[in-house]
Amino acid sequence: MPIYEYECKACGHRLEKLQKISAPALTDCPACEASELSRLVSAAGFRLAGGGWYETDFKSGGTKRNLAGDSGKSGDATSSGAATNGKASA
């Protein structure tokens, strides 16, 4: 179940509520009891990073990157190899 954030337009009180997706939005503020609550849009509290997730395993093309840290290791080796090959043949 997702956690929704609410803010009262009347008094500015903020709260979080664990609710089902199908549950109706809250309307009454628990602090001032006004019917001025509105649901806020917020980012997820977690990030899928590291090996085994879509971001690193199913990239098309030759570029694979890991958002958690090892970005560009294969690209650096390829570019330094190309520079060495270019100097040797010149």
pLDDT band at residue 86 under the 50/70/90 scheme? very low
- The C-alpha R_g of the chain, in whole angstroms, comes to 25
| 81 three-class SS | helix
pTM of the shown model: 0.49
DSSP 26: P
Q: Tell me the pLDDT tens digit for each residue of 12-65.
A: 999 999 999 899 999 999 999 999 999 998 776 666 666 665 655 555 655 555
